[in-house]
Structure 1
Amino acid sequence: MSVVGFDFGNESCYIAVARAGGIETIANDFSQRQTPSCVAFGPKNRLLGVAAKNQQVTNLKNTVVNFKRLMGRKYRDPHVTRVLADLPNTFVETEDGGVGVKVQYMGEDAVFRPEQLTAMLFTKLKETAEAALKIKVVDVVISVPCFFTDAERRALLDAAQMAGLNVLRLMNETTATALAYGIYKQDLPAAEEPPRNVVFVDCGQSAVQAAICAFNKGKLKVLSTSWDTTAGGAEFDRLLTDHFVAEFRTKYRVDAEKNARARLRLATECAKLKKQMSANSTRLPINIECFMEDKDVSGYMERATFEEMAAPLLTAVGAALRRCLENSGLATSDIYAVEIVGGGSRVPAIKGLIEQVFGHSPSTTLNQDEAVARGCALQCAMLSPTFKVREFSVTDLQPYPIRLLWETGDMEIFPRNHEVSFSKMLTFHQVEPFTITCKYSGDIPYPDPFIGSFTVQNVTPGADGESQKVKVKVRINIHGVFTVASATLLERVEEAPAPAGDATTTPMETDPAAAPAAEQGGPAADGTADGDRDTSPPSDAAMETDAAKPETPADSKEQGDVKKDKVKVRKTELPVETVVPGMSPREVGSLTEKEGQMIASDKQEKDRQASACPVWPGYITAICTEQDSKNAVEEYVYDLRSRLQDDLAEFERDEVKTSINAELDTTENWLYEEGEECLKHVYIDRLADLKKLGEPIKNRLREFGERPGALEALSASIQQCDKAVNAYRADDQRYAHLDTAEIEKVEKHLTEKRQWLDKNLGTLCNLAKTQDPPTSAQQIWAEKQAFENLVNPILNKPKPKPPKVEEPPAADKPEEKPAEKPADANMDVE
């Protein structure tokens, strides 16, 4: 059984798996831990994750991002309208009022729902997990924002089903973070002691979330949550982008609003600038070459100015944090610590707000990017029978109040911040089928409060025409989804007592109460019935607290002689017709089949390319089609340009980087002009020319990282050999069996290798990062291996075996007497 956790983010995803050594975040086929939440469509196949993101600029209309924010939403939703305004794709309204994105796929127009795009991304994550674990992945735990509504959670479950995944739990992101934090703590207070209250703030790309959790030994309980969907990291990026669009319009007379590709490039650079401002308070530049109309643009921004621009967003973040504290009923003195995760948590202004609201400096003990995925993998391990995990209960909460309505009344069945998962049993008295409508009450981030309608069927009047008692079990399951779990008709049947000695059986149960029916149409007299909290794995059992009243003397008098008859209750399960927003099971099944066909088509195209690829010499990867060759050139241009400003910046001189960037810009323009339609070998030659520029710089970075380890390993081998020689000279018995000639041979090799190391070590230590190393890390490892091959056979030479001692003749040996048999024949003597 697979034990996998997916952190499904708006911008990127992370995969964590449970192994014998603990929880591990795995890398994808590009050796990156994060996989972009990006799906692209081509003429022959789909591109998912990193590959889709790399060609986003050139395939803008057919590359889709930000679809997580569209899950379970309607096309005319104001939230959807705001999200679509920033996306360059073509969106349409589907037949059921949902959102569809129109793209070119396999040479034809196609419309895909956000649920289908999510399923495609899950397919990629599933393949990555299977490649790492070497087993088929089915069971997973997936993260969701704590503010997701019932419709959004159902849409995510549908998407996982299309990808062939069995979701053990949809886990709130803040709860997953809390689990990753608390399960390893050994100093949590005991159950009878006051809990340790910890705040978790998740500043993601699409929203800011906060949760306050109470920890006891082996127990986690979420006390309150809050959020703001208008103050995520994307909003800060948009603020910077709009600022520079206006500045460049005035300064350079170019309007990026009219060029989707230019705006995307600007947004990418603004996201990098925001990260740089988190670490630097000085004035920072932004430079983009060949931005529009062959014009280079540049600008400046400093942290103080940016914070002034972002004041409304920061105010919204502070309000969300204060709301979380107020809902918990705690004071700042009750807070033990504040943990922050998410990319936006690195913004100094947000850190200052957190300290101002909660009175504690934010702590970063958790991995800010991978904590959610690790928490999901831990929850999956707790639900899996194949892993033994320390007992640690997790109690989440429902952020919105839920109200039930029926023909004759309504009731708030689950108040705000009610624990999840939870079941309640309600009693209705009806004479005909009836419908229960479930809605959210209060303020929710969704224009339609409707959750679903549930019609209990096959209800008929009793034999005397009176109403029948119907038990309806409602619950919020482990995914945070509201359901009507069951409906049971309870019929009172009176039977004459059986004659003495007649032991007949009946499927009916005795009703010791025989209480009169309540008024028709309403629930049980107490209105709400208590329930029991579900455990992991969830149990459908619920506690029924609306039991009938005990029999009174007045009731006995009215019954007269009938009291000797037995009153029994016959239970009949009733069908419940469910109507909820979203896709029907038939639609989900059809889209699941379609996803399988697209997976097969992608695999077929990949196999075709692999079989048709020639083997090219050198470092150039074989590229099979003209489109793939062009994409490879384009990906290399964007990758090298980005890395020259990031991890490769220190490994090349500025003047050389300028010339390389000019060549990259020239190549990029060529791709969109005369290089739009070329033969495969033209793209391959172009890629070879670019790699002659970029690979030496990448090699310096690689050597800079690998060289210290290689030198340390060689030095350790020399030191170990030197200790062995000195031990021989000191008459150490471990080496007494070695000849002097052998030790002299070892000393000769030792001297040569020490001289070689000293010579190269001085050169390499004084080597500038922009210079090619005269000796590579691979050569150092080869020298180490060659040295050990020469000296280890001598130093590890086994000692000669001691001479055998001759045994005395057989006649001199004492005669061995056979063991006597015990008196008990059933006892064996060993």
Structure 2
Amino acid sequence: MSVIGYDLGNLSCYIAVARQGGIETIANEFSDRNTPCIVSLTSKERSIGSAAKTQIISNYKNTISNFKRLLGRPFDDPFVQNEMKDLPYKLSRTADGGVGVRVPSFFSEVQRRNLLAAARIANLNCLRLFNDTTAVALAYGIYKQDLPAAEEKPRIIIFVDMGHSSLQVAAVAFNKGKLKVLATSFDPYLGGRDFDRLLFNHFADLFKDKYRIDVRTNKRAELRLLIECEKLKKQLSSNSGRMTLNIECLMDDKDVQGAMTRTDFEALCAPLIQRVEKPLRTILQDAKLQSQDITSIEIVGGATRMPAVKSTIAEVFGMKVSTTLNADEAVARGCALQCAMLSPTFKVRDFTVIDCTPYSISLSWIAPMGEEGDMEIFPQFHPAPFSKMLSFYRKEPFALQARYTNAEQIHYPCQDIGKFCIDNVTPNQEGDGSKIKVKVRLNIHGLFSVIQASIVEKVCLGMMCNVCSSNLLCTTQAPVDNQTPNPEPMGESTSPGDTENKENTNANSNEDVKPSTEAAEKVEKKKVKVKSKDLPFHSQLYMNITEQEIQHMFEVENKMIMNDKLECETSEAKNLLEEYVYDMRGKLFDKYEGYTTEQDRTEFGKILEATEHWLYEDGEDEMKAVYVDKLAQLKQVGNPILRRYTEAQARPAAFEQLGGALQKVSKFLHNYSEKDEKYSHIQQEDVDKVKKSSESTAQWYNEMMQKQSALPKPSDPIVTVAEITGKLKTMEGICNPIINTPKPEVKEVPPADAEPAAEVPPSKDTAKDAKDTKDPAEEPKVDMDLD
């Protein structure tokens, strides 16, 4: 089992896998770690990634790219309307307006929910939406062994991530086993593609004056020029000399040529370079840092490879930038690490990740007297995930409206998050407002929600009277404090694992009344229990995708997957048919020529030629079953030819093997008849079995050899290789056990008529020698003590 981290970019994506051996960035089916974020659609199939990139020019109207920027945005969003001008495909309005996976830190609530919904539709179990810069920080810090201790001053690192379409900056504090994001800043509309567009506009104007062609009027020409401008930008990043741009037949059969130096490129992009400075200076201000507080500047993302961007970053922070991280794969590796930390399957070094929310979040409500209430719940850069408990005094159901506090902070047309309605709220028994506790949470994905609502009641369990010692049970609700119903944020904050429901039981006594001499025995004690009861609530989220819509899209995706599989199988069936036509036609008049008649060969050749023409004309786009049936029909004619050829090639060796076995048996029979001592132990009836089996096999062998040699090649064989092999195995099964019977061992027996030798009395010397040479076995054994 493994867990994966997705770095889903606007231009391309990387996928890292956490296995028992560590983190590995995997390659796609084209052996490339970089997979383009492109989907191409045709009338019958869907291509994804590298396969779709090949169709970005030929099928530009149905090839979708740069779609992450549009995720979760309404159709009327000014950003969407501006993007539509440069998109080669068309956008349409929808009915509703709109695994560890990385997500830009500036994504709003709606965009994050839409990305989670997309993961569910793709059947991915997303454990966390991880901010880009936080993922990079995790990939950087978890391997560091020299981080300061928890009680020491943290090490401050600035991470700059500039990719294809956005710039993100984060200030992160590191201690041993912990990272905390202090602040983030970003420019969501500045990335490498903006530099590509500047080059495109420059050369489009140049070619219009020089070659009298306007590439902006031709989408294919526009896409080709954009691709070449991106290549030129990369060349200028690594070469300071003059680099050329050449495109053949760009438009109207005209070849175009242009050139640019790095100095000219940086002068052209000066306005964009100036925009890089703002997020860098903002992060210092928001995190309250000075240049001397920063230990290092780590840069990732493809656009940071441009020398002008590097020098700007170094100038703002007053230090040289560091490139110790893999600029392309660091985010994916960080996501995979976080996923492994959240998964119970892997044991990862203890490392705490404290992220922050990039925008402040506020709640508003309508108070009982009709006035509006408002409160900032999570200020900007508040730690996340985090929970808070809020208290309200209400007599009836009420609603809380969540929104981003500052509309200018978010880069989204609507600052609303959603509406949360608390139901079944009733006044207490005295008619005053009941105490309502509402638990709100900023979860691991960066999403705000109400996760619990409860009503607090005080119940009197009974009174103990000292006079009669009787228990008087009372179930009336005790009056709550007579306060004006105002929301009261609780001072407590709970971590992600805190229990949702808490029941506090307090034994509170009434006011102790000092007894007088007249009524000392009338002292009463009351037992009061404070209990909490959960209340139902429901939410109305802005631009939310319902469960029914997700399920419908999941079913549509499954149908597309099955259709993709069917198209793949259809393409394979077509290729098999085409391969058979070419292979058989080439061999029919070559190696298979002698195994079919001239008439059959000519007719089959015509069928193969007709099938080839059909494949490229009427059969170009047929169903899988049609190709399978066509191939079966051809094999009905071609397989007998193939079988004759293969039998003819293998038959001589099979006959030779059978003949060799017959010779071996014949030699045995000859030796036995010559009274060979080697086989004298074999019984006559066993030899007769061998003889009978060999004679019948030899007769069959000679007969089949004569018939097969008299048969012409185009005819089906009289005997097959399988039959010859079967005969061989049958004969060997009878003969070999008899021939290989081992000869029994002969024991030497003394002759029965031999007289026993007369006993000679031993001499004294002989007896002495015999006494001295006793059998060792007869000597007494000595016991040994073993330690």
TM normalised by structure 1 equals 0.66
State the match for 1:28 in structure 2: 28
Distance 1:241 1:502, change over 3 A: farther
2:483 aligned with 1:518: yes
Deviates more, 1:311-320 or 1:399-408: 311-320
User: Per-residue deviation at 1:74?
Assistant: 0.4
Does residue 466 of structure 1 match 2:429?
no
Cα distance 1:201–1:814, how it changes in 2: closer, same or farther (>3 A)?
farther
Q: Give a deviation string over 1:181-233, Cα, whole Å, max 9, x none.
A: 00001111111111111111001111011111111100001111111022111
Deviation at 1:617, TM superposition (A): 7.4
C-alpha distance after superposition, 1:82-105 (max 9, x if no partner): 22221011111122222xxxxxxx
Q: How far did residue 453 of structure 1 move?
A: 0.5
SS in 2 for 1:399: coil
> For 1:252 and 1:353, how far apart are their aligned partners in 2?
37
Distance in 2 between the 1:502 and 1:58 partners?
Answer: 95
Matched, 1:569 2:569: no
Residue by residue over 1:118-168, the C-alpha shift from the partner in whole angstroms, topping out at 9 and shown as x without a partner, is xxxxxxxxxxxxxxxxxxxxxx21100011111110000000011111111
Matched, 1:232 2:191: yes
Q: How does 1:306-317 map to 2 (within 5 A)?
A: 306-317=265-276
CA distance in 2, matches of 1:272, 1:494: 79
Tell me the equivalent position of 2:233.
Answer: 274
Query: What's the offset of the Cα at 1:498?
Result: 7.2
Opposite residue 516 of structure 1, the aligned amino acid is D
Q: Distance in 2 between matches of 1:813 and 1:519?
A: 110
* 1:635 alignment partner in structure 2: none
Name the CA distance, whole Å, in 2 between partners of 1:241 and 1:813. Answer: 109
Say if 2:251 is the partner of 1:287: no
What does the per-residue CA deviation read over 1:370-414, in whole Å, with 9 as the maximum and x for residues that have no partner? 000000000011111111111000000001000000003110000
CA contact (8 A) 2:465 2:523 kept: no
Aligned to 1:304: 263
1:307·1:349 contact (CA, 8 Å) conserved in 2?
yes
Distance 1:27 1:509, change over 3 A: farther
> What residue number does 1:153 align with?
112
Residue 414 of structure 1 corresponds to 378
Percent identity reads 48
Q: Distance in 2 between matches of 1:550 and 1:199?
A: 54
- The 3-state SS of whatever aligns with 1:531 is strand
Report the TM-score, using the length of structure 2 for normalisation.
Answer: 0.70
Amino acid in the other structure paired with 1:414:
F
Specify the code of the residue in structure 1 equivalent to 2:566.
Answer: Q
Structure 2: distance between partners of 1:418 and 1:509: 42
Alpha-carbon separation, structure 2, partners of 1:146 and 1:546: 39
Task: Give distance in 2, aligned partners of 1:211 and 1:547.
Answer: 45
2:689 match: none
Counterpart of 1:726? Answer: none
Partner of residue 611 from structure 1, selected from 573, 595, 598? 573
Give the distance between the partners of 2:620 and 2:447, measured in 1 at CA.
55
Query: Is contact 1:72-1:582 (8 Å) kept?
Result: no
The one-letter amino acid of 2:426's match is: T
Report the counterpart of residue 67 of structure 2 in structure 1. 67
Residue 809 of structure 1 and its aligned partner are, at CA, apart by 7.1
Deviation at 1:497, TM superposition (A): 3.6
Would you say the 8 A contact 1:284–1:300 is kept in 2? Answer: yes
CA 1:552–1:367 in 2, change beyond 3 Å: closer, same or farther? farther
- CA positional deviation for 1:682: 11
Alpha-carbon offset, residue 30 of structure 1: 0.8
Give the secondary structure class of the aligned counterpart of 1:190.
Answer: coil
- Of 314, 322, 332, 2:281 maps to 322
- Equivalent pair of 2:507/2:529 in contact (CA under 8 Å): no
Any idea what SS the aligned residue of 1:496 has? strand
Structure 2 CA distance for aligned equivalents of residues 533 and 460 of structure 1:
30
- Does residue 44 of structure 1 match 2:10? no
1:578 counterpart = 2:578:
no
Contact 2:341 2:348 in 1 (8 A): yes
Q: Which moved more, 1:85-94 or 1:255-264?
A: 85-94
Alignment CA distance shift 1:60-1:242 (3 Å): same
Q: The residue matched to 2:5 in structure 1 has which SS?
A: strand
Q: Deviations over 1:444-502 (max 9, x none)?
A: 10111000110011111122211111110001000000010110111222232479999
Kindly provide the amino acid, as one letter, of the partner of residue 51 in structure 2: A
Amino acid of the structure 2 residue aligned with 1:473: K
SS at match of 1:529: strand
Equivalent pair of 1:515/1:548 in contact (CA under 8 Å): no
Query: Aligned pair in 2 of structure 1 residues 422, 587: CA closer, same or farther (>3 Å)?
Result: same
SS of residue matched to 2:14: strand
Q: Determine which of 402, 414, 429 is the counterpart of 2:393.
A: 429
Quote how far apart the aligned CAs of 1:314 are.
1.2
Question: Hey, what's the Cα distance between the residues in 1 that align with 2:275 and 2:506?
Answer: 51
Given that 1:199 and 1:211 are in contact with CA atoms closer than 8 Å, whether structure 2 keeps it comes out as yes
Query: Aligned with 2:127: secondary structure?
Result: strand
Structure-2 change in CA distance of 1:80 and 1:816 (3 Å): farther
Report the CA distance between 1:530 and its aligned residue. 3.5
**Paired residue for 1:453, among 419, 425, 428?**
419
| Counterpart position of 2:557 | 595
Counterpart Cα distance in 2 of 1:587 and 1:503: 62
State the partner residue of 1:336. Answer: 295
Distance 1:588 1:681, change over 3 A: closer
Separation in 1, partners of 2:313, 2:549:
45
CA contact 1:146–1:173 (8 Å) conserved in 2 = yes
Shift of 1:613: 2.2
2:449 is equivalent to residue 490 of structure 1: no
Structure 2 counterparts to residues 654-803 of structure 1, below 5 A:
679=617
Residue 173 of structure 2 is matched in structure 1 by: 214
Give the C-alpha shift of residue 545 in structure 1.
14
Corresponding pairs, count: 586
Query: Equivalent residue for 2:136?
Result: 177
Distance 1:303 1:20, change over 3 A: same
Question: For 1:613, what is the secondary structure of its paired residue?
Answer: helix
Q: Which one-letter code corresponds to 2:292 in the other structure?
A: S
Tell me how far apart the structure 2 counterparts of residues 415 and 297 of structure 1 sit (CA, whole Å): 55
Q: 2: distance between equivalents of 1:81 and 1:811?
A: 112
Cα RMSD of the aligned pairs, angstroms, is 3.5
CA contact (8 A) 1:284 1:302 kept: yes
How far apart, CA to CA, are the structure 2 residues paired with 1:43 and 1:194?
Answer: 61
Give the drift of 1:571: 2.1
Q: Partner of 2:27: helix, strand, or coil?
A: coil
Contact 1:509 1:569 (C-alpha < 8 Å) held by counterparts: no
Any stretches of 5+ residues in structure 1 without a counterpart?
Answer: 99-139, 622-676, 684-807, 821-830
CA contact (8 A) 2:503 2:532 kept: no
Bigger Rg, which one: 2
Pair 1:228–1:497, CA change in 2 (3 A) = same
Mapped partners of 1:570, 1:556: distance in 2: 30
Q: Provide the C-alpha distance between the structure 1 equivalents of 2:514 and 2:418, rounded to a whole number of angstroms.
A: 44
SS of the residue corresponding to residue 473 of structure 1 reads strand
